[in-house]
Amino acid sequence: MDRSETELMLKGYGLTTAEIFYRMPDFQRVLNSYVWQDYDLAPDHKRLFEFIEFWQREIEGPLHSVRFTHRKLIGPGEWRNMVGEFTLH
């Protein structure tokens, strides 16, 4: 079941961004990078680790390193539903 980004953020999810460094099978001296983003829960980062496991299982480019950051964009106390709008001038 897909949930909206707002629903995920209100449930505690934050935006996780990972920069994945890997080597091409034919060019081992060349280091490439791939940027991955998804909403994930800290400190477990289940979706990030699932992606890394998928990479190791399905993609031929061996991983060199992974650097990531996690940021909660909003929390339940920072959001409120507005019913109306008042405009002046």
Q: Which domain holds residue 15?
A: 5-78
Mean pLDDT per block of 10 residues along the chain (89 residues) reads 75 90 90 94 92 94 92 67 71
Q: How far is CA 87 from the centre of its chain?
A: 37
Structural domain includes residue 55: yes
Structural domain includes residue 86: no
pTM of structure: 0.73
Kindly provide the residue ranges of all beta strands, DSSP E only, lying in 1-89, ordered along the sequence.
14-23, 31-40, 63-71
Structural domain includes residue 85: no
Structural domain includes residue 48: yes
State phi, psi for 31 to the nearest 5 degrees.
-105, 125
Q: Is 29 exposed, middle or buried (0-12, 13-18, 19+ CB in 10 A)?
A: exposed
Count: domains in the chain: 1
Structural domain includes residue 89: no
Structural domain includes residue 60: yes
SS3 39: strand
Structural domain includes residue 28: yes
